Structure formats: structure tokens, C-alpha cells
């Protein structure tokens, strides 16, 4: 709540002054009028320091950062690393959480081709409400290996497949890699994390 500096006169003409917290100038004048003080000037105040408010803001910011971390942790990611061999490339497909924590890794030898697959699933009985997921499929000498299904990955499966196929065809790089991460939870985590940091900073600024 803002703190105002004020000056005025009492009913017997004595000059008085002081500071007072109030929601507005009008409320301040009303409070002083009840005390039979005629206000002659009011100085614009700054918001009064409140340890409780500062702690509350910092706690809210930390809570938002915690929520951002949880959102980031549910963002699935894929990292594909390939190393050239005599005939083709041997690739590892690493499934990650938030693009950092490794969940599991699979390997395919003699990878020569990458394709992208899409599937659309409807929500309940409403056919208009549907979601699309994508995945990469690597084809090797004797087997195929597919990544997990992901919703709207950054670096789409089509782009990742093109990168892989270009390198498979040119066979110039000793090794290369491409990666993906699900966009929706990652984007939400970024926005919530930024808001959390701004709330913490506003709390710290109020303390100084």
C-alpha cells in the first residue's frame, strides 16, 4: 500500500505533518478529516516496504519456476547420433526428458534411410477435436528403428528425416546428429519460467 507524506492544520490552526499509508489520496484526506485536520499538501508516496509482500512474491516466483521445471520434464525429446562405417552409418536413438535427461537409448546398424510418419487421433466422440503426432523411422540392413511419437516437435520429423537422408546419401561426414523436442510443454515451461523470474525480481526490487 502506498505511503503518503502530508501537511495540514488542526481545528485550532496548529500546523502538523506526517506520513500515512492509504490506498489513495482521497482515502488519506478522509482519514485526516475525521481527525479534524485540514490537509494543505500531500506528497506522492512510494509503496511501503512489507516483508510479507516481498516474501510472498518471491515464494510465488519460486512456485512458478517449479511449475516450469515440471512442464519441461514432461517434454519428450529425441537425439539421433550417427557414425560412418564401411557400408553405411550406425546410429543411436536416445529418448530424453526435457532434452537433457536420458530415458533410454537404442541402436541400429547400417542405417541407410529415414522416413517420417504421422498419425491423427480423435478425442472421444468429437471428430473435430484431434491431435497429430509424429515419429522418425530409421531403416538399416536387417531392421528398422522408430523413435517415440511426439506432438509438434521442434525440428519436425520431416526436417530431421531430410537431414539424415542427406548425410546418408553424401557419406561425407564421419559423424553427425540431429535432435527434436516436443514444442507445447517446452513453450509453456519457457513462458512460466520467465514469469517466475520476473515475479522474483519484482519482489527483490521491493526489498531494496
pLDDT at res. 72: 80
Bridge partner list, 104: 95
pLDDT (tens digit, 9 = 90+) per residue, 73-116? 788 899 999 999 887 899 999 999 876 788 999 999 999 999 99
Q: How many CB atoms lie within 10 A of CB 84?
A: 16
pLDDT (tens digit, 9 = 90+) per residue, 25-65? 888 888 888 888 998 998 876 555 566 777 888 888 899 99
Separation of CA 135 from chain center = 24
The domain limits of the chain are 1-48, 51-120+130-208
Torsion sign (Cα): 38, 40, 45, 48 = negative
Phi, psi angle pair for 100, to nearest 5°? -125, -55
Q: How far apart are the first and last CA of the chain?
A: 16
More confident residue, 94 or 69: 94
The pLDDT of residue 166 is above 90: yes
Amino acid at each position: 500500500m502506498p505511503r503518503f507524506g502530508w501537511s495540514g492544520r488542526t481545528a485550532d490552526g496548529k500546523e502538523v505533518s506526517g506520513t500515512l499509508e492509504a490506498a489513495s489520496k482521497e482515502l488519506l484526506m478522509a482519514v485526516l478529516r475525521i481527525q479534524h485536520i485540514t490537509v494543505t499538501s500531500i506528497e506522492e508516496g512510494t509503496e511501503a516496504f512489507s516483508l510479507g509482500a516481498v516474501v510472498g512474491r518471491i515464494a510465488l516466483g519460486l512456485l512458478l519456476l517449479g511449475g516450469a521445471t515440471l512442464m519441461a520434464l514432461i517434454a519428450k525429446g529425441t537425439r539421433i547420433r550417427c557414425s560412418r562405417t564401411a557400408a553405411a552409418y550406425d546410429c543411436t536413438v536416445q529418448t530424453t526428458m526435457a532434452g537433457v535427461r536420458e530415458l533410454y537409448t537404442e541402436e541400429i546398424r547400417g542405417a541407410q534411410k529415414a522416413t517420417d510418419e504421422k498419425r491423427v487421433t480423435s478425442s472421444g466422440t468429437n471428430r473435430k477435436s484431434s491431435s497429430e503426432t509424429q515419429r522418425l523411422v530409421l531403416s538399416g540392413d536387417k531392421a528398422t528403428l522408430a523413435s517415440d511419437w511426439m506432438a509438434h516437435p521442434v525440428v519436425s520429423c520431416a526436417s530431421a528425416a531430410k537431414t539424415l537422408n542427406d548425410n546418408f546419401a553424401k557419406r561425407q561426414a564421419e559423424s553427425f546428429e540431429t535432435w527434436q523436442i516436443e514444442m507445447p510443454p517446452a513453450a509453456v515451461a519457457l513462458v512460466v519460467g520467465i514469469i517466475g523470474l520476473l515475479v522474483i525480481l519484482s519482489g527483490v526490487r521491493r526489498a531494496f
